[in-house]
Structure 1
Amino acid sequence: MEIAILQHVDFEGPAEIENWCRQTGNEYKVYRLFLGEALPKAERTDFLVILGGPMSVLDELPWLEEERQLIRVLISQGKPVFGVCLGGQQIAKALGADIFQGEYREAGWLPIRTMKSETLGELPEELVVFHWHGEQFGLPEGAERLFTSEVCPNQGFIYKENVIGLQFHFESTKESIESILQNDAAFLDGTAYTQTSAEIRNYPIPASNRKLLYRLLDRLKATVPD
C-alpha cells in the first residue's frame, strides 16, 4: 500500500501524519506540488492525504481542479481520502459543497465540540485544536458532521466511511506550528478568534489530538480496497 501526501506549500508539511506513516510501517510519498511535481496517478494511489495551504479553494488555479478530479476518482473507487484545512475544503468542494468566507478567522488553539458519530463511535466531547483558516466548507450531501465550533459549524465530516475532511489541524507539532508562524504570521489580525504568536507557541499540544488523529488514520487505512 502506498499513501500519497499532497503538500501545497513548503511550510505546511505532513508533520504528525508522517510520524504515523513511519510508526505504522506504511509506505508513503510526499508530492511537493509547490515545486511543480505532478499529482500521483489514481491507479497507483491506495490512500490520499491532502494538506493545508494559504491559497483559496475558490482561486482559479488549474491544479486545484485537477486535484479535485483526483479526489473524485479515488472516492468513486472506494479508496480512503483524508484532508486537513485546505485539503478538507478540497474534499468538500469535490463532493459538491460550498466553500465560503467565514464571519471570523480562526487562528490558534481554540475549542471544538464533537458530534455523536454512528460511524466512528464514542469521541471526546470537546477538544482544543490548532486552527488557521478564514474560509469554511459546507457539509457535503450524505456526509456526517463530526466536529463543530462556535463560529464554524462544520469543523469536520466523514463520508461513506472512507473519506474524512477536517477544517482544523490535528497533525500539528511544535515544529509545524513554528513553520507556519515564521511564514504566515500576517494572518494573525487580532480579531476575536485569533491568538498572538506567543499564545500559540506557549500552548502545550494536547496528547488527545495525536491519539485521535492516529485513530482516524487507522480507521481509513482499514477501508483500503483489497
Structure 2
Amino acid sequence: MSVLIIKNIEAEGPGTIEDYLKENSIAYTIVNIAHELAPNTDGFDTLIIMGGPMSVNDEDDYLRVEEQIVRQFIGTGRKVLGICLGAQMIAKALGASVYKGPAPEIGWYTIAASEAGIADTAFSRLAVKDTSDLIIFHWHGETFDLPEGAVRLASNALYPNQAFRYGKAVYAFQFHMEVNREMVYSWMKTENMDMAKLKAETEEIYPSYSGRAIAFYKEFFDREL
C-alpha cells in the first residue's frame, strides 16, 4: 500500500492520519499542491485530500489539478478520503455543487449518523458508544449537495451533508477527524473563541475522539477493493 496525501496549506496537515500510517509502516508521500502543481500519482493506491480556507470554486490552477487527481483516483477504483475542503473537492469532482453554508461551524459539535452510516463498517467506528451520535471537530463555512450515486452517512440541522460515501471506498467528511490537540489549539487561536471552554471540551473529548479516528483508519486502509 502507498498513500498520497495532498495538503492545500501548511497548517492543515494529516495529523493523526500520519501517526497511523507511521505506526503501521504504511508508505506515504505528502505533497503541498500549491507548490507542486503536477505531483506524480503513479504507484499510489490511496488518496487523502486535506482541508484549507480556500473554496474549491476558486480559479487557482492547483485546485483544478487537484480536482483532476480526485477524478483520476475515483475513475480507476482507488481509495479516496477527503477532509473538509477535500470533501468539497470530491463532491465537485463528482458533479455536485459546492457553495457557502448557512453559518460557520467552528469547534466541537454532535452530528447524527444515518442508517447507512451506522451500517457502514468503517464510518460506524466514529460513533460514540455504539450509537448514532458522533462528536466531531468542525472548522468550515461551505457545504455541498450530495453527489448523484453517493450515500449520505451523517448530517445535522445546519449541514445535511456532513459525510458521504461514493462506491466502496471513497469517503468525504466535512469535519476534521484528523486533528490532534496541538492542531485544535493552534487553529483556534485565529478565531474569536473562548479558549478556556475550548480546552476543557477538547481535554474531555479528545481521548475518545482520537481512538475513534484510529478505528476508522484501520477499517479504511485495510479495506480490500
TM-score calculated relative to the size of structure 2:
0.87
Match in the other structure for 2:31? 31
- SS of alignment partner, residue 40 of structure 1: coil
Q: Which amino acid aligns with 2:121?
A: L
Task: List per-residue Cα deviations over 1:141-163 (Å, max 9, x = no partner).
Answer: 11111111121001001110110
Match in the other structure for 2:100? 101
Report deviation, 1:223.
4.2
8 Å Cα contact 2:37-2:65 kept in structure 1: no
Task: List per-residue Cα deviations over 1:31-59 (Å, max 9, x = no partner).
Answer: 1234x124432322211101100111111
Q: Which amino acid aligns with 2:91?
A: A
1:134 aligns with 2:141: yes
Match in the other structure for 1:83? 82
Distance 2:39 2:215 in 1: 25
Match in the other structure for 1:175? 182
Change (3 A) 1:52 1:70: same
Distance 2:143 2:136 in 1: 16
Point out where structure 2 has 5 or more consecutive residues left out of the alignment.
none
Distance 1:21 1:38 in 2: 24
TM-score calculated relative to the size of structure 1:
0.87
Point out where structure 1 has 5 or more consecutive residues left out of the alignment.
189-194
Match in the other structure for 1:221? 221
Report deviation, 1:62.
1.3
1:64-213 aligned within 5 A: 64-117=63-116, 118-120=119-121, 123=127, 124-182=131-189, 184-185=190-191, 188=192, 196-203=194-201, 204=203, 205-213=205-213
Q: Which amino acid aligns with 2:41?
A: A
Distance 2:26 2:110 in 1: 31
Task: List per-residue Cα deviations over 1:200-223 (Å, max 9, x = no partner).
Answer: 233123444333333333333234
Segment drifting more, 91-100 vs 215-224:
215-224
Aligned length: 215
Segment drifting more, 119-128 vs 132-141:
119-128
Distance 2:37 2:57 in 1: 21
- Share of identical aligned residues, percent? 35
- SS of alignment partner, residue 105 of structure 2: strand
Q: Which amino acid aligns with 1:65?
A: R
Distance 1:42 1:32 in 2: 13
